[in-house]
Structure 1
Amino acid sequence: MRQGPGRDLAQELLAMAAEDEAVRAELVADGSLFDGYHSRMAEVHRRNATRLDAIIDAHGWPGRVLVGEDASRAAFVVLQHAIGSPAVMRRGLPLVQAAAMDGDVDPVQVAMLEDRILSFEGKPQRYGTQFDWDEDGLLNPLPIADPADVDARRRAVRLDSLAENVARIRANALRDGHQRPENPAARHEAAASWARSVGWRT
């Protein structure tokens, strides 16, 4: 059994991710999750981001060696959802990259975090993991740099093909009741304005 600070951190990280998941499930159930960035979800994300930042200060990145596989994955979920805290997400990227080099985290986490940061910055992503509704009302990947080679990059980190991912993301959206917005262009502008307001873009 994991002992000492690693055990305590593991329990805390698992609880943080569980709260995130529970609030998301409630908002999916009442249909309000997809009406912009819900204030309840944002509050959980902010609180978790602040705590994760403190954990990093004290312990470095909580990878598999320190907290075990499940809690390390929970830490990544917290980081990936810290969208209102750009400094925390940007701080985490090189830490997760270094941990992946040491085998302490799954390289998929690096790909997903890098894509999310690039997309929030308004730049093309590399692996096609970030999605939104396009002008034709289809749920598609946000812009991808060098799209002809995206599947090769995905294979390198053990992701399935982009086509398979598109099918899965669309199926999940249908399951969760995530429907096409009435005005995709207005949604994109609102997202860009929010990204500027929290410091992702200038």
Structure 2
Amino acid sequence: MDYTTIAERIINLKNEDLALRDKLIKNGQLSEGYNEEMEKLHNSNAEILNEIINTIGYPTLDKVGKEASEAAWLVIQHSIGQPGFMRKCVKLLESAVSENKANPRSLAYLTDRIAVYEGRPQLYGTQFDWDENGELSPRPYDDLANVNQRRKSVGLNTLEEQTDIMRGQVKSENQAPPTDLENRKQKYDEWRKAAGWIK
């Protein structure tokens, strides 16, 4: 098995994703719902990565190296229109982390992202969105003390520190809160239903 070529292919998927994100930030289009071009790329990347996973299993550190393993996680994290694929990957990632073959932080982020889309409280506080006050805030979580304890266990900073970082990042990217939060929430729920996250 030529893991070097596979690793390069996975890294290329990530680079395409980030290049498109940068383009959307520059054009001020990142905050306007799920961009069609981005959705198409995320779905296509998920399809390619799924084929790779079906061939080699989860792209673990020992198979593809740190950069490609983290790139695979980013592609999975962004494959939000593919609930089945994300749920399949979180199970594979749990096994890889238990064998010290993947980063536990990646598992924390993916676990939270799935929880948020399914409408459950997140465990690590990694997922953020705009609140009623126009501030970027963590999506609902169970309990701050427990969240900070879990974050510490996987090498993350406190939720309070992360909130400051995230708010600074959206300012530096000139991202603005949505003008109509209620309408955005409604579209988000319609999208979750259409994608198969909720019934």
TM (normalized to structure 1)?
A: 0.96
- Residue 103 of structure 1, CA deviation: 1.1
CA distance in 2, matches of 1:141, 1:192: 18
2:11 alignment counterpart: 14
CA contact (8 A) 2:132 2:181 kept: yes
1:84 alignment counterpart: 81
- Residue 185 of structure 1, CA deviation: 2.1
CA distance in 1, matches of 2:107, 2:51: 21
Larger RCO: 1 or 2 (CA < 8 Å, sep 6+)? 2
- Residue 139 of structure 1, CA deviation: 0.8
Specify the code of the residue in structure 1 equivalent to 2:145.
A
1:131 alignment counterpart: 128
Note if 1:142 corresponds to 2:139. yes
- Residue 46 of structure 1, CA deviation: 0.3
TM (normalized to structure 2)?
A: 0.97
5 Å-filtered alignment, 1:1-202, equals 4-202=1-199
CA contact (8 A) 2:31 2:177 kept: no
- Residue 57 of structure 1, CA deviation: 0.8
- Residue 189 of structure 1, CA deviation: 1.8
| Cα distance per residue 1:68-125 (max 9 Å; x no partner) | 0101110000000000111110000011111111111110001000000000111111
Instruction: List alignment gaps of at least 5 residues for structure 1.
Output: none
Aligned residues: 199
CA contact (8 A) 1:108 1:158 kept: yes
Once superposed, what is the RMSD of the aligned Cα atoms?
Answer: 0.9
CA distance in 1, matches of 2:56, 2:126: 29
CA contact (8 A) 2:14 2:75 kept: yes
